[in-house]
Amino acid sequence: MRSVRSFRQFRHVFQRQECNYSFSLVKCQKILIDTGYRVTDNANIDKLSSLKFIVSRTLSTDAAKVSVGDVNGGGPYVEYERRIAAGELVDGDSFQVGTLRELQRLYDELVESADACKLDRYTASDKSGRSRWLWSRLMPQSWYSPIKGLYLYGGVGTGKTMLMDLFFDQLPVNWRKKRIHFHDFMLNVHSRLQRHKGVADPLEVVAGEISDEAILLCLDEFMVTDVADALILNRLFRHLFNNGVILVATSNRAPDNLYERGLQRDLFLPFIATLKERCVAHEIGSAVDYRKMTSAQQGFYFVGKESSSLLKQKFQELIGEQKACPQEVEVVMGRTLQVPLGANGCAYFPFEELCDKPLGAADYFGLSNNFHTLALEGVPIFGLHNRTAAYRFVTLVDVIYENRARLLCTAEGSPLDLFDRIVTIADAQQMAPRTSTRSRKNDDSDLCVDNELGFAKERTISRLTEMNSKEYLEQHAAMLAEKQLSEEASITNAVQA
């Protein structure tokens, strides 16, 4: 068993290195041209190759002073130094260094207690979730992991996701681990609950399945806005923690501020207490938004209603000679989504079709699984009158960003202008009160005071800015080129076989 495990680890590392460094520049140039990014000389290609598909936007000069000997020979610190030496990361600020120390501490504890935490997937139980539930009825048992998890929170663009990914990528390949966006995680939970209808406690079955697959669970963008999610999180994570699950999460909100002013929040409060008990909460105090430090350019974000023809022109350029036509794509739990126009991995939607209809994260994930580029026409200024559409747009941008997809859109204003009328309760209280002699402006009447949306808007503005930067578009083009090379290699291997 040990030799098999070693072989699998070697094969994983070899494939990963081959994927990162065996990149055909000729193929890359063709893909960049086909997808709309103009390559004018070999210098641009050389620059793209040096990126190695990694977005450089974080960490700090102080971390470069940490020696390899201080980190037990492995982990996030060592990988950080390697990436600095290779030119894959740029320096950031001291706040992120403190976060990196917390991640290194957790990494070291996990390595030392891997057996006690039952992280090795090759020694995991073969019982299915439902069998595990039946067995637990006969032989009740629970145990907390000896290691506490980590809950990272802070402002938008401070590098939370990048730091968690840096940590996750250094974990041994044979460990039971999973990294997933919180939206996607909750969709998966609801899908599993549907499959286990009729069981006395389906949440315990679902928790058993999840913990069988992953003892170390990394959730990105932990944000609770849905009352259905809020009501099940406490029982779900109580079962998960009883099964020894270790949680690493990122969020814009401190634990005590999760689901603030939400419906039936009193039923959600026990989850916050459990979260604080099983995770070390660490704030990234940086005020720097690294996404906005990219090489800003117009990209594919067009302001003004008259830009509709330009959007359609760009869409046609991207699909090439293929003819766009209506399509139907499958999302979760047997649902389908109608695509007005789609071709060559690109989909075209009027804003109303995606954000004014009762759609959600499941539909957007299904869309991203089938299309790498989305053209969205007519994003409006958000306010009280279209608050629901604003929530859907925020979720849509989250899903597009998580999948590193490309967004083309026309909008009534800049990303900052779109959310100018969305404010938090604290922001609203600081606004100057109207006097009896002051007329009420139209903008004031459409002001939307919404805490969750008020916090989420900063993330959306930040992501829209980055998604239209030169670096992001280069990375997207490289990802497409890598995917096409992989597909061609698979076809070649199949033919040779």
Q: What is the 3-state secondary structure (H, E, C) of the chain?
A: CHHHHHHHHHHHHHHHHHHHHCCCHHHHHHHHHHCCCCCCCHHHHHHHHHHCCCCCCCCCHHHHHCCHHHHCCCCHHHHHHHHHHCCCCCCCCHHHHHHHHHHHHHHHHHHHCCCCCCCEHHHCCCCCHHHHHHHHHHCCCCCCCCCCEEEEEECCCCCHHHHHHHHHHCCCCCECEEEEEHHHHHHHHHHHHHHCCCCCCHHHHHHHHHHHHCCEEEEECCCCCCHHHHHHHHHHHHHHHHCCCEEEEEECCCHHHCCCCCCCHHHCHHHHHHHHHHEEEEEECCCCCHHHHCCECCCCEEECHHHHHHHHHHHHHHHCCCCCEEEEEECHHHCEEEEEEEECCEEEEEHHHHHCCCCCHHHHHHHHHHCCEEEEEEECCCCHHHHHHHHHHHHHHHHHHHCCCEEEEEECCCHHHHCCCEECHHHHHHCCCCCCCCCCCHHHHCCEECHHHHHHHHHHHHHHHHHCEHHHHHHHHHHHHHHHHHHHHHHHHHHHC
All residues at 6 or more sequence positions from 73 whose CB lies less than 8 Å from its CB, including other chains: none
Residue pLDDT, tens place only, 263-298: 889 999 999 999 999 999 999 876 555 555 555 555
Tell me the sheet residues that pair with 376: 349, 409
Question: Is residue 104 in a domain?
Answer: yes
Buried residues in 337-365 as b, exposed as e (16+ CB within 10 A): bebebbbbbbbbbebebbbeeebbbbbbb
Does 307 lie in the same domain as 179? no
- Mean pLDDT over 171-175 rounds to 93
Proportion of the chain above pLDDT 70, given as a percent? 74
Residue 14's pLDDT band, with cuts at 50, 70 and 90, is very low
Residue pLDDT, tens place only, 31-57: 343 444 333 344 443 333 333 333 333
pLDDT of 247 > 90? The answer is yes
CATH code at position 110: 3.40.50.300
Range of the domain at 453: 296-484
Does 300 lie in the same domain as 241? no
- Among 252, 284, 316, residue at a domain's last position: 284
């504890």: which residue's tokens?
109
Residue pLDDT, tens place only, 341-383: 999 999 999 999 999 999 988 899 999 999 999 999 999 999 9
Question: Is residue 221 in a domain?
Answer: yes
Round to whole Å and give the CA distance between 190 and 192. 5
Lowest-confidence pick of 174-188, 289-303, 304-318: 289-303
pLDDT of 6 > 80? The answer is no
Round to whole Å and give the CA distance between 230 and 439. 41
Does 360 lie in the same domain as 232? no
Q: In the prediction, which pLDDT does 260 show? A: 85
Does 135 lie in the same domain as 113? yes
Round to whole Å and give the CA distance between 398 and 336. 20
All residues at 6 or more sequence positions from 237 whose CB lies less than 8 Å from its CB, including other chains: 245, 247, 271, 274, 275, 278
Does 351 lie in the same domain as 263? no
Does 185 lie in the same domain as 256? yes
Question: Is residue 160 in a domain?
Answer: yes
Q: In the prediction, which pLDDT does 437 show? A: 43
Dihedral-angle region of residue 141 (phi above 0 means left; psi in -120 to 50 means alpha; beta otherwise): beta
Q: In the prediction, which pLDDT does 332 show? A: 73
Q: In the prediction, which pLDDT does 189 show? A: 94
pLDDT of 3 > 70? The answer is no
Structurally, the chain folds into a number of domains equal to 2
Write the CA distances from 43 to 27, 50, 391, integer angstroms. 16, 11, 42
Does 303 lie in the same domain as 277? no
- Mean pLDDT over 173-183 rounds to 93
Contact 390, 453 (CB under 8 A): yes
- Among 256, 284, 312, residue at a domain's last position: 284
Contact 66, 29 (CB under 8 A): no
Question: Is residue 23 in a domain?
Answer: no
pLDDT of 206 > 70? The answer is yes
Does 380 lie in the same domain as 267? no
Q: In the prediction, which pLDDT does 71 show? A: 37
The count of C-alpha atoms lying within 13 angstroms of the C-alpha of 478, restricted to the half-sphere facing its C-beta, is: 24
How many residues appear in the chain? 497
Q: Taking the C-alpha atoms of 196, 199, 203 and 205 in order, what is their torsion angle to the nearest 10 degrees?
A: -70
If one compares 199 and 70, the residue with the highest pLDDT of the two is 199
- Among 242, 259, 284, residue at a domain's last position: 284
Round to whole Å and give the CA distance between 164 and 77. 12
pLDDT of 67 > 50? The answer is no
Question: Is residue 217 in a domain?
Answer: yes
- Mean pLDDT over 302-315 rounds to 88
Does 307 lie in the same domain as 236? no
Round to whole Å and give the CA distance between 340 and 330. 14
Question: Is residue 94 in a domain?
Answer: yes
Among candidate residues 332, 405, 402, 392, the one with its CA nearest the CA of residue 362: 332
Does 190 lie in the same domain as 80? yes
End-to-end Cα spacing for the chain: 28
Question: Is residue 18 in a domain?
Answer: no
Does 164 lie in the same domain as 101? yes
If one compares 152 and 30, the residue with the highest pLDDT of the two is 152
Residue pLDDT, tens place only, 118-128: 999 887 554 44
- Mean pLDDT over 210-217 rounds to 95
Q: In the prediction, which pLDDT does 444 show? A: 65
Does 279 lie in the same domain as 305? no
What global pTM score does this model have?
A: 0.62
Question: Is residue 74 in a domain?
Answer: yes
